[in-house]
Structures are given as C-alpha cells and as structure tokens.
Amino acid sequence: MTLKVYNTAARSLQEFVPLREGEVRVYACGPTIYNHAHIGNFRTFLFFDLVHRHLEYSGYGVQFVMNLTDVDDKVIQAAHEAGSTIEEHTKPFGDTFLADCVSLGVWTVDSYPRATMHIEQMVEFIERLVDKGHAYSAEDGAVYFSIESFPEYGKLKGIDTSTLIAGSRVEHDEYDKEDARDFALWKAATEEDEEVGAAWDSPWGRGRPGWHLECSVMSTMQLGDTLDMHLGGEDLVFPHHENEIAQSECATGHPFVRYWMHVKHLFVEGRKMSKSLGNFIRVRELLEEGYDPAAIRHLLISSHYRGELNFTRAGLKASGVAVQRLMDFEARLSQLETADDAEESALPGLAEKVVLDFRSTMDDDFNSAGALGVLFGFVTKVNAELDAKGRVSTSDRDLALGALRSMDTVLGLLEVAQASRVIDDDLSSWVERMIEERAQARASKDFARADEIREELSAKNIVLEDSAEGTRWKVVN
C-alpha cells in the first residue's frame, strides 16, 4: 500500500516518498501563543496529529517538530496591552495549548521550539543570507530578503514574480495576502518591543526576527536542510510558506520541503470564524461547558482536511452520539460472554477486511472522513453478527476487538473518550453491587426498589442497558 498526499506545491496528489527510506521528518506551524487556541486552530492541529499517528501506524520512524510562535506583531501587541513582557504573556497560553492538546488526544511531538529560544541561530541564518547576496540591511535598522535574488519566488503559490515591485518593502508580520515584496528578516526594535522584552542585540543593532524567518530557522535547525513534510493552515501558503522556501533554499542551497500540506479553514455556523461575528469559539470554552473532548475530536476530523467543515453545536452533539456508539460497541465486545464451542462467525473476515480498508482510506491523502465511514460500517456489521449469533468464540471476539483498537491508534476516539471518563475502582464496584441488588429486587418483583436503583445510578450519569447477555452499564456525559 502506498501513501498518497496532495502536495500544494505540485497542485496534485503524489505518491509519498521520504528522503530517507522509512523515516519521515515533519515540521508543522503551531500556534501563536498570544491567546487561547480556537477550534479552527484545532482542526489544523488535529490534522497534524492524524498525520503523525498514521505515519507511525504505517511503520515510519517519525520526527515531528511543531513550533510555538512566542514573538511576532500579535504577541507584542497583546503583551503591551496586558502590561507584561512577552515571556510572561505567552507562558500561560503555551501551557493551556499543551493541556488542550492532551485533552483532545493530540500526541506529544518530538520538539516544540519557541522562537525566543533561538535568536542566536536566527541572526546567523540572516548573516548567511546577507553574505550570499539574498538579503540587505537598510537604513531603518531592518534586514530585508531580496525577492529579486530568488527567481523561483512564487513557486508554491504559483504567482508571477515579474509583477512584484522589487525593492519595495513590507514591514508587518501580518501581510496582506496578495503582498509579496521584499520582506523583513530582522526588524529594528521599537520602544514597544523594548518594553515587552522583544528586542535582542544583533550586528544590525537592537531588533527582533521576522515571523517567517523563525520557522525557516527552527525547522532546518532541528530536521535538516530538506524536510519531508511541512504542514499548516491554508492561510499560511502565502506569504508565510512562500517566504520560508525563499529563505531556506537560499541559505542552505537545498530543496526545503518535499511535500507541502495545507488544511482548509473551519467555518462556524456557516460563517468564517471571527471575533466581530461573535462566533469565535475556543477549545477551552467547549471543555469548560462540559462537552466531551472525544466529540470535539470526532467533529474536527469528520471531514477531509481539504474539504469544507462547518462547526455547529448540533454537529457537536451528533459527534457525541457517534462517540458513545463506539464506546458502547467497545464495551459490548469487551464484556461479551464468549463460548469456545460457538460456531464460526463472520468476525475474523470482517476484522481482516476493515483494517485493510481503513489503511487504504487513510493512505488516500489522510481521508479521515472515509476512515470513519469504514469504522462505523464495521460497528454496524459486527453488531448485526453478534445479534444474529448470540455467542462467538473468544478468538473471534478478540480479532474484532483488535481491529477496533488498531484503527483507534490512528483516530484516537476511544482513547480520548476513555481518558475523559476515568472511573475509579470504588465507583466501579459500587455500580456492580447496585446492579446485583437491582437484579435481586427484580427477581423478587420489588420493581419500586429496582427503579429507585436505576435512578440513583442515573443521578451519577450511569446508564443501564438490559439485554439477553445481562445488564451493561456506561457513564454518559
């Protein structure tokens, strides 16, 4: 089976071949930690996580780096407004970002470099560009990249550089999307920068690195001159990633990235997410409102990363139902009474096929929507088989359970759902005692007591399900 990825640079699906066999080096543009990450950011971060998990699932050795932007225009402005330094201001947001990642099951990556930790390497990188004639220092104390010096500029986005005005400059990190003139690698420190601790010494005087430069330096420093994959949201294609290519290829003399992948932006209730529309939702808020993190994860991976995804509360509730269905299925299988003299079942065949289908669907440009379809199709078929057969052998049951768990190492839904419903042993044995007492009450026709027990459990979010196989219980949110 071969992995195919849609490479933004080639504008087509390509077979994935890493630089070194069996190894994949990935760099992803992480959050700017001037505020809490929102659900749009997490659509992108959950895609990063799917890539990470699926590559490992496919047997690759993965080296994954995601930066945290802790100095840029937005960070400086936010720190200034809060009356703190950038270090004080970004620390809690960096911490909650990592905590949100844990809640939503985003695997830890190998390294989370922060720009402020690598200023020295950034200065050296700029010096290399100046020495090679790709950058120049200006009277305003800044150093600019010369677009004219790199004829391939524009290749990622596919723009014609002859229309650009050579030698005219862009001063801000948040460029107009269509703007592609000489951009700053280093910016002279302003009074505000000094006040918030965003200024360092350099051969060009006090200043700070430009945002694009930060990613070029941290990625090549940690992963080498050529990366296998570089990931980010679609808004980063231009100019951020275009500029990263220019800086990196001119500094190292090698191709920078083999495959570029970009995630389409999330919509909320059918509209672009923005503060002014009041539909700006942070992951924190949803978790604090008591939404199941596994439901958030399900919703955000339920659409292919290059396709539209519209976040609605109704959609989140439907995702909660899907996650619960998966939990119920897992509980049914793991609590199933098996019989080794049971006749043959369809489970081994279904288990073998589902894993193959799942892999090939994920291999098709990380098609998580299709993979969820494959998974839930399996749930339906296995449930039907269990209903029909009543009893199956332990080995058949274990094959089905193994297939389910194998797919979940990539999707992470049971993983997150189970982690957020950790039940201590005391509660568990109390529930078992209550179920036993209820069974006795029913046997002696004391239905009032049986109902009372059901209500007592329900008050603790524990729901009972009676079936021919006995009484099962689950915790619901």
Q: What is the chain's length?
A: 477
User: Would you count residue 215 as binding Zn ion (CB under 5 A)?
Assistant: yes
User: Would you count residue 50 as binding ligand AMP (CB under 6 A)?
Assistant: no
Nearest approach in angstroms of CB 77 to ligand AMP is 13
Q: Which is nearer to ligand AMP, 263 or 347 (CB)?
A: 263
Nearest approach in angstroms of CB 45 to ligand AMP is 7
Footprint of ligand AMP on 251-310 (CB under 6 A): 263, 265-266, 273
Q: Which is nearer to ligand AMP, 29 or 119 (CB)?
A: 29
Q: Using CB under 5 A, pick the residue from 26, 29, 229, 411 that binds Zn ion.
A: 29
Instruction: Take residue 458 and report the two structure tokens written for it.
Output: 């329900």
> Among Zn ion, ligand AMP, none, what does residue 265 contact (CB within 5–8 Å per kind)?
ligand AMP
| Among the residue ranges 25-33, 200-208, 214-222, 324-332, the one whose residues contact ligand AMP (CB under 6 A) | 25-33
Q: Which is nearer to ligand AMP, 43 or 54 (CB)?
A: 43
| Omega before 293 within 30 of 0, i.e. cis | no
DSSP state, residue 58? T
| Vertex 384 angle, CA 378 and 388, to 5° | 145
Instruction: Take residue 90 and report the two structure tokens written for it.
Output: 């970004």
Footprint of ligand AMP on 53-112 (CB under 6 A): 69
| Among the residue ranges 107-115, 171-179, 208-216, 444-452, the one whose residues contact Zn ion (CB under 5 A) | 208-216
CA distances from 467 to 11, 298, 336, 433 (A): 53, 28, 11, 18
User: Would you count residue 239 as binding ligand AMP (CB under 6 A)?
Assistant: no
Best CA proximity match to 287, nearest among 40, 44, 46, 100: 100
Nearest approach in angstroms of CB 132 to Zn ion is 22
| Among the residue ranges 210-218, 219-227, 377-385, 403-411, the one whose residues contact Zn ion (CB under 5 A) | 210-218
Instruction: Take residue 233 and report the two structure tokens written for it.
Output: 């949201």
Best CA proximity match to 13, nearest among 2, 24, 23, 21: 2
> Among ligand AMP, Zn ion, none, what does residue 235 contact (CB within 5–8 Å per kind)?
ligand AMP
> Among Zn ion, ligand AMP, none, what does residue 215 contact (CB within 5–8 Å per kind)?
Zn ion
Spatial distance between the Cα atoms of 441 and 431, rounded to a whole number of angstroms? 15
User: Would you count residue 233 as binding ligand AMP (CB under 6 A)?
Assistant: yes
Nearest approach in angstroms of CB 216 to Zn ion is 8
Q: Radius of gyration of the chain from Cα atoms? A: 27
Q: Encode 41-80: b = buried (16+ Cβ within 10 Å), e = exposed.
A: bbbbbbbbbbbbbbbbbbebebbbbbbbbbbbbbbbebbb
Looking at 78-226, which runs of residues are DSSP E strands?
A: 135-137, 143-145, 169-170, 182-188, 207-209
Residues that bind ligand AMP (CB under 6 A): 29, 31-32, 40-41, 43-44, 69, 232-233, 235-236, 263, 265-266, 273
Residues that bind Zn ion (CB under 5 A): 29, 215
